[in-house]
Structure 1
Amino acid sequence: MNPIQEYFYRIDEPERSTLLFLRKKILESDPENITETLSFGLPFFKFKKKMLCYLYYSKKHQKHYISFYHGDRLDYPELISEGRKKFKILLIDENEDLPVDFILSLIMEVKKHIK
């Protein structure tokens, strides 16, 4: 098992399945240009080798989240900055339907800001 797979398999269900589904959707959204790496022990998604977003867990909110680079340029009430300068997060509730279309639209918007 590679380190990225190990990261996901240390997470309990149902969170693991939710995050693996989200991972798959992100990678499939632009297979030519979006890649996945493990940075700082976290799964990072990159667009043409530039930072795009990553997945992590918020101890404060007790939920996993997806953090978007250039989040400071995204203006949506669902996104939380909590003092971050370049990133905003979207909390993921595994007990609710995953807002896949919204997440993919945010990724498309972030890609526009990457040079």
Structure 2
Amino acid sequence: MRELDNFYLQQDEPIRGTLLALREIILQQDKDITDVLKYGMPFFCYKGKMFCYLWMHKKYKQPYIGIVEGKRFDEPFLIQEGRSRMKIMLFDQNEDLPLQTIKIIVQKALSLYKTGTIKIKEK
């Protein structure tokens, strides 16, 4: 079993289900997205470049998607708090996920890499 898979298994329900659903939604957005465990949390990479991650908000006890280049976005549902670069999108694990909103923000984050706004080192 991968260490990443073990991360999800260690979470209690309903948070585990929310995180696994978010994982599937993100991975389905592009064939070049991969997931890895970095800094103890699931990160999603586009062609090897980290663009978002999943984690739990300590204060609100809610799962969230962290957008690495979130500072470039103005969506009111993205929260910056004390972060200089990243913004987060919180989810209530007891409610349905806003599927379209998640897809839109993930695609917007990916577009930074696809258009060359964020440089990807070619191998």
- For the pair shown, which has the larger CA radius of gyration, 1 or 2? 2
How high is the TM-score relative to the length of structure 1? 0.94
Q: Which has the higher strand share?
A: 1
- Deviations along 1:44-98, whole A, 9 cap, x unmatched? 0001111110001111111111100110011111110002111100111111110
Distance in 1 (CA, whole Å) between partners of 2:101 and 2:64 is 14
Look up the match of 1:112.
111
Distance in 2 (CA, whole Å) between partners of 1:73 and 1:99 is 21
Look up the match of 1:26.
26
Corresponding residue pairs, total: 114
Q: Secondary structure in 1 aligned to 2:26? A: helix
Uncovered stretches (5+) of structure 2, i.e. residues with no partner: 114-118
Which amino acid is 1:77 matched to?
P
Moved over 3 A (4+): none
Distance in 2 (CA, whole Å) between partners of 1:24 and 1:112 is 19
Deviation at 1:107, TM superposition (A): 1.1
Pairing 1:70-109 to 2, within 5 Å after superposition? 70-109=69-108
Identical aligned pairs, as a percentage? Answer: 44
Distance in 2 (CA, whole Å) between partners of 1:61 and 1:74 is 22
Q: Secondary structure in 1 aligned to 2:84? A: coil
How high is the TM-score relative to the length of structure 2? 0.88
Q: Are the counterparts in 2 of residues 22 and 100 from structure 1 also a CA contact under 8 Å?
A: no
Look up the match of 1:2.
2
